[in-house]
Amino acid sequence: MRGRFITFEGIEGCGKSTQHRLLADHLLARGLRVLLTREPGGTPLGEALRAILLDPASSPTPMAELLILEAARAQHVSTLIAPALARGEWVLSDRFADASLAYQGAARGLGLDTVAALNAMVCGATRPDRTLVLDLDVELALERARRRASTTASNRRFEDEDLAFHRTVAEAYRALSAREPERVRTVDASGTPDEVLARVLAAVEDLL
């Protein structure tokens, strides 16, 4: 039987990476086979492209940025995600195609149609069964992300964008959830990691 494909989305600092790991631990404890991965990344090529994408010295144009992300995604889908799903595994990805709709389509202004067309070409039939959008107050989330960035210096190119950029991303995720309510679920990301995990589990329970 084909596995399940769950993706985590949200703005920087929303806590999605923590929930990504906690859900994996939960599924492993239930005896399921789980593949944890992320975008951009997940493959050697994807991780190399991630380093280029996040490097403040890169300064790609919005279209160049989108194509780098789609190249990483093409490799990710074909060599990692689709084979794992075919083996019956649960694939949990920290971000996927919806991130390009929200960041490049909405916030960078490339338009949802352009991004959706590329996503369709690159992903084919590999679509998430469920997408969890972790929803947290934008200012609170950014403060968290920036506190973390000052210690790990990981992702300044996106985190240093202004508040309006991140509000546009959050709004785009809400619109995706309104358009595809069955697949895209908004999860309240306030509270402790365990409180949020309980909401995450409720949002995937029907897939178990």
Contact between 103 and ligand TMP by CB under 6 A: the answer reads yes
User: 6: closest CA among 205, 148, 172?
Assistant: 205
For tokens 């947290």, the residue is: 136
Whether residue 146 contacts residue 22, with contact meaning beta carbons closer than 8 Å, is answered with no
Distances (CA, A) of 4 to 11, 36, 88: 24, 12, 8
- Minimal distance, residue 116 CB to ligand TMP, in Å: 12
- Minimal distance, residue 125 CB to ligand TMP, in Å: 19
- Sign for the CA dihedral angle at 96, 204, 129, 42 comes to positive
Nearer to ligand TMP, 95 or 130 (CB): 95
Nearer to ligand TMP, 37 or 186 (CB): 37
What is the per-residue binding string for ligand TMP in 58-97, x denoting contact by CB under 6 A? -----------x------------------------xx--
- Minimal distance, residue 178 CB to ligand TMP, in Å: 20
Burial of 18 (0-12, 13-18, 19+ CB in 10 A): middle
Tokens encoding 41: 């990344």
Report the C-alpha gap between 18 and 126 in whole angstroms: 24
- Minimal distance, residue 99 CB to ligand TMP, in Å: 3
Residue type, 110: L
Q: Which stretch binds ligand TMP (CB under 6 A): 23-31, 100-108, 133-141, 200-208?
A: 100-108
Q: Which stretch binds ligand TMP (CB under 6 A): 75-83, 99-107, 126-134, 183-191?
A: 99-107
Would you tell me which residues interact with ligand TMP (CB under 6 A)? 12, 39-40, 69, 94-95, 99-100, 103-104, 155, 158
